[in-house]
Structure 1
Amino acid sequence: MDDDAGTPSSSRTGERPLVPLIARSRTIYHRVDPVAYDCVKVIIVRDGTAIVFSEFGQKPVRPGDVVLLAANTLCASEPEGHVTVTSVSLDPDYLLDQVRWQFAGVLRDRLDAQGFADAIYTEPAQILRLGEDRAGMLTPWLDELVALSIERQFSRDYFRIQALWFSITHVIAPYIKVSPVRVSSSQRAHIRPTLPRDRRFAPLRAEARHAAELLREAPAHRWTLEDLAAQVHLSSSQLARVFVEAYGKTPLAFLTMVRAEHLARYLRETDMSVATAMREVGWHSRSHATELFRQYVGLTPGQYRQKRARI
């Protein structure tokens, strides 16, 4: 809905500090064309009205409404005169850690939390109708969160920023639509550390989004950078640059991550042999696949399955 919530990077110097969230308030007078971001967006309407276009179709928003957008979700808006919003942009890994600890009684680690979050938050775009009175409770927290975000002293103010965010989510969470999911304490997965990356809180290039979708949809394909670049109509060097800017890792490192997650799911949820599961995700060298999986999951595939079997 907003065309730019601000970025934590100091792009002039090349330094880009990684932060969990950014908050900005702004008044919009003109149409915002469809754009997707690499972060989760929580947009609180504070004044004015607008028509919003996203996965839910075309809907009006007014003061007291909250627009919730998953990462990589296209959204556009057209103010009716003007609309004033406060937008909170959140790193998905930061939110995933919160899900992990919120349901710590039944989720053992972050891979388990990822699957659980994917299952319960099935709507990538929602409008939450809080009402002006309830949304008004958020005003002082939002203003302070914006002020601290602008000051950029994230390490110093981290706990206050987190406290403000938790106060806001405590109010809006009951309005978020979720799908019922049965979970049990016997579920198991192991942590998947991600490669270091910069979270830009910035619009994603369509080519980067398309490339990521291709990798997710066909992880077993023997992708090369050249093949992927041809699919999205960029040169190899252009794709490498825009993909790293969007996801903090190269396309082939992203593919390794996707394959590791798929292999972990096969090992958890099927009796497929390790070798067969490796081939299913596109790995044909067992030793190479074992090393890549260990780098992402922390265990070899055999150790991972043994731990699952003991639970």
Structure 2
Amino acid sequence: MRDSRIVYKFVRAGTARFASPAGDLALAAGDVLAIDAGVSYQIAPDPGYEVTRVGFDRRYIIDQLYWLYTGLLPDRAAAKRMLDAIYRAPIHETRLDQPVLDRVCDILDRLDDALSQPLGLEHHAQAMSLSWSLITELGNLHATPPADPGIATHTSVLDLGARRSGPRTEARAVAELLTTEPGTPWTTAELAARVHLSPSQLRRVFTATYGMPPATYLARARAHRMAALLTEHPDLTISEAALHAGWHSRTHATAAFTRHHGVTPTQYRARTRDDA
């Protein structure tokens, strides 16, 4: 059976030569390679070369893209078409500018720390949130998906320094809070105060950046956390998973979860068990 993973190599420092049947590349700090698992290649590192390797199942990335572009992609089939359009070749190269590289390296370090801790609910949830943050960073490297997701996009590296200047910095800071702390009962006023904006300014800036207001983004983050809990901790009840995700009402949690996943928590857990 074909390996469905995509392996990402984040070059953090130094230089190297990358050789594969598709061609050769000169790698330097800021380069990110997305490689289909099973593709043969060789890397000849120079002194000081430092790289972090992370692998994700394609189905997991498709889920993340679907949640990232909620309201733009109608279903996961459209998210799959988007992923296929982005990664048309078995090896895909992207260059990060320094601010984005610094942010990604921080996520990678925290993810490594979370995975090195003893297995437990808190550390697992933290690792899942950081994985989502990492894929969100990768998703934001590419253009917004077209109105018709069936039309393949021609992706290119964006000028991230310009694209993320100004108000977008505040929006991303709030998104990080919502992603890493979905269990906190955030209000728009509290979030706005964190980034020194008025609530109305935050709603406008955040919606322009992510296509949804902070409250919807938080509900999505909680739905993501709850899905991870249901999958990885079969001993948890639906109510317990909802509470850990940040909801205090199972009814509210079920409604929000179903809106974001298309199935109830009970159906989602049954489906993941069937896929195991």
Q: TM-score range by the shorter chain?
A: 0.3 to 0.5
User: TM-score scaled by structure 1?
Assistant: 0.42
Decide which structure has greater helix share.
2
Larger Rg: 1
